[in-house]
Structure 1
Amino acid sequence: MPLTGLAIGCLGGGAMAQALLTGLIKSGIQARNLYVSDTRHERLDYLSRELGVNGRESNRDLVRESDVVILAVKPQVVEEVLKETGDLFQPRQTLISIAAGITTRFIEKFLPEPVPVIRVMPNTPCLLGCGASALCSGTNAGDRDRERARAIFSAVGRAVEVPEGLMDAVTGLSGSGPAYMYVILEALADAGVRVGLPRDVALLLSAQTMLGAARMVLETSEHPGRLKNMVTTPGGTAIAGVYALEEGGLRVTLMRAVEEATRRSRELSGGLK
């Protein structure tokens, strides 16, 4: 495994950092090889107690001790953290950033050459080990660094590699996508209530149906159109429902949502190139 024997540290101990550390432990990485830093003492105590990882109050100490450093702070404090720690990074290390909208070029400005940088766009289902993450490489990142990043994010879901120019599109699709799914899920549950189901039953059936449909696509590798055709019998209930969806413009509305979220991501990251 690309991570065996490596010290992995998270700069920032928020929810995503906790998800990554938990996933790594479940994948077989020893907690003694994992580090986390945070400005909140109570948060460090909690992560150390619950996960058994090494808490560090100093970001600089964490960078010194880690072979792989995950930059897991909010985008607005990335520059501050990199100004504090950037001089410590070495080419043997891999710096992985999950800060939304922050480009590899922006990060590299604060680092000695040639430090490898990998940028990752995860999404919130990583918290449950079923996230979707896309990664791209900075100027100095090689196969070793990409393998390290893929191993980390495969521990909390599925990971793919894309060119950095497509990261805004990733943000518009999978990064923002859970919100779209929640809107659809809520609407399905409301529809169930409208036709007579108790709300808790309607919500459970809607959520499990969405989960099952997604797993069918991932585990059979069948095109979703083919899977849809398997459900829609001639003159049946499913095709009547699909017709109503098409009539209401659901397909175009979802496509427009991804386009708008992608556009907004480009606006937000425009000053951080």
Structure 2
Amino acid sequence: MTFSNERPFLLVGAGKMGGAMLSGWMAEGVDPSAIIVSDPGPPDEVREVLTKHGIKLVDRPPEDVQPGLVMIAVKPQLMDVVLPGLKSVVASDTLVLSVAAGTPVSVFENAFGRVPLVRAMPNTPAMVKRGITAAFPTAAVSEAQKETVTQLLSSIGQVVWLESEEQVDFVTGVSGSGPAYVFWMAECLAKAGEDVGLPAGMARQLAIATVTGAGELMHQSDIDPSTLRQNVTSPNGTTAAALNVLMADDGLEPLVTAAVQAAVKRAGELAGK
């Protein structure tokens, strides 16, 4: 994971996710003098990271450098504006890493040719370094380049490698959009607490602590979620009564399945499939 002034690491787009990644990379020992960030208006918290580490910030990709790696982290609707400006800096051996949602490999290959390219799908818990990123490499990506990407993305959480680009849409439905499902679960749990008579603030506190605590328990434990569920479910007890509702034929499982399928379908539509 070595970059230099001659072959720097160019980050294009530095939103909140970019800021989280930059902080992680500094902790991993990436040389800040070998990083260039291209963004006309990064948020204040990202500017603080850049200033703290002396990372160079420019409004647009510089034409007089040839990066070893270009990471594209802009919104999909900006691709038509951003990619033409990168053609002059992406060489045949430049590794291109995209974390832009809904933008297929073909878009980048049309812009740059068949350069080494990794399409990645992180999720928002990356901002607290508890995310998971799924990555798909094109055939031009070497094992050494995959290792570099793994090291970079591991700074914000776990990394898994996909066998086909089609799986990116499947990942979108599960982990890409998944945090929103969990947030909604917390909202519903808090509302249910209010409905049975708890003060709103207390219900919210209980719901958030329960969801995050259960998540942390799964994270730290080697025990399967189904076993963890069974361990807290006494026969004929209160949890069993609740699970009889959630695990009914028309309960949570078919709803989650339908939600994931809807997200996967929409991901395909956004990618022009």
Q: Same fold (TM over 0.5)?
A: yes
Cα displacement string for residues 186-230 of structure 1 (whole angstroms, at most 9, x for unaligned residues): 011112222333333322222222222223333323221111110
Match of 2:161 in 1: 161
Contact 2:14–2:42 (8 Å) recurs in 1: no
1:234 matched to 2:239? The reply is no
> Which range is displaced more, 63-72 or 144-153?
63-72
Q: Structure 1 residues 220 and 46 mapped into 2: Cα distance closer, same or farther (>3 Å)? A: closer
Contact 1:47–1:55 (8 Å) recurs in 2: no
> Which range is displaced more, 98-107 or 21-30?
21-30
Helix, strand or coil for the counterpart of 1:144? helix
**Alpha-carbon offset, residue 13 of structure 1:** 1.9
Q: How many residues align?
A: 267
Match of 1:217 in 2: 218
Gaps of at least 5 residues in structure 1 are none
After TM superposition, the structure 1 = structure 2 runs for residues 132-151 of structure 1, keeping only pairs within 5 Å, are 132-151=132-151
Amino acid at match of 1:170: V
> Which range is displaced more, 119-128 or 244-253?
244-253
Cα displacement string for residues 139-160 of structure 1 (whole angstroms, at most 9, x for unaligned residues): 3112122212211111011111
In 2, the alpha carbon distance for the partners of 1:27 and 1:5 equals 13
In 2, the alpha carbon distance for the partners of 1:127 and 1:166 equals 23
Contact 1:134–1:161 (8 Å) recurs in 2: yes
Match of 1:252 in 2: 254
Match of 2:82 in 1: 81
Helix, strand or coil for the counterpart of 2:234? coil
In 2, the alpha carbon distance for the partners of 1:227 and 1:173 equals 21
2:264 equivalent among 258, 262, 265: 262
Cα displacement string for residues 50-84 of structure 1 (whole angstroms, at most 9, x for unaligned residues): 553211233134x8253221101111222332212
Match of 1:178 in 2: 179
Q: Structure 1 residues 47 and 243 mapped into 2: Cα distance closer, same or farther (>3 Å)? A: same
In 2, the alpha carbon distance for the partners of 1:226 and 1:45 equals 45
Contact 2:9–2:36 (8 Å) recurs in 1: yes
**Alpha-carbon offset, residue 138 of structure 1:** 1.8
1:125 matched to 2:125? The reply is yes
Helix, strand or coil for the counterpart of 1:64? coil
Amino acid at match of 2:160: V
**Alpha-carbon offset, residue 16 of structure 1:** 1.7
Match of 1:19 in 2: 20
In 2, the alpha carbon distance for the partners of 1:76 and 1:139 equals 26
Let me know the Cα RMSD of the aligned residues.
2.2
Match of 2:189 in 1: 188
> Which range is displaced more, 48-57 or 15-24?
48-57
In 1, the alpha carbon distance for the partners of 2:30 and 2:224 equals 35
1:28 matched to 2:14? The reply is no
**Alpha-carbon offset, residue 42 of structure 1:** 8.0
After TM superposition, the structure 1 = structure 2 runs for residues 61-72 of structure 1, keeping only pairs within 5 Å, are 61=63, 64=65, 66-72=67-73
Amino acid at match of 1:102: T
Q: Structure 1 residues 175 and 41 mapped into 2: Cα distance closer, same or farther (>3 Å)? A: closer
Contact 2:36–2:57 (8 Å) recurs in 1: yes
In 2, the alpha carbon distance for the partners of 1:203 and 1:64 equals 51
Gaps of at least 5 residues in structure 2 are none
Superposition TM-score, scaled by structure 2 size? 0.89
Q: Structure 1 residues 207 and 33 mapped into 2: Cα distance closer, same or farther (>3 Å)? A: farther
In 2, the alpha carbon distance for the partners of 1:187 and 1:41 equals 34
Match of 1:97 in 2: 98
Amino acid at match of 1:256: A
Q: Structure 1 residues 41 and 193 mapped into 2: Cα distance closer, same or farther (>3 Å)? A: closer
Identity %: 31
**Alpha-carbon offset, residue 238 of structure 1:** 1.0
